[in-house]
Amino acid sequence: MSQVFTSQVHQSSHIQRDADSNQRGHQSQVPARRHPARGQLTVRGRRVVAFFALLPLMCTLALVGVHKAQAIGTAPTTHLIAVQPGDTLWDISVRIAPDQDPRKTMWDIAQLNHMSTSDLHSGQPLLVPNS
Q: What ranges do the domains of the chain cover?
A: 42-75, 78-129
- 29-38: pLDDT as tens digits: 666 667 767 7
Query: Of 4-8, 39-43, 98-102, 125-129, which range is least confident?
Result: 4-8
- 76-122: pLDDT as tens digits: 588 899 999 999 999 999 999 999 999 999 999 999 999 998 899 99
CA distance 112 to 80: 11
128 with 78: CB under 8 angstroms? yes
Q: What is the reported pLDDT for 24? A: 54
Nearest alpha carbon to residue 18 among 28, 6, 31, 5: 28
Tell me yes or no: is domain 78-129 CATH 3.10.350.10: yes
CA distance 103 to 97: 11
Nearest alpha carbon to residue 112 among 125, 99, 95: 125
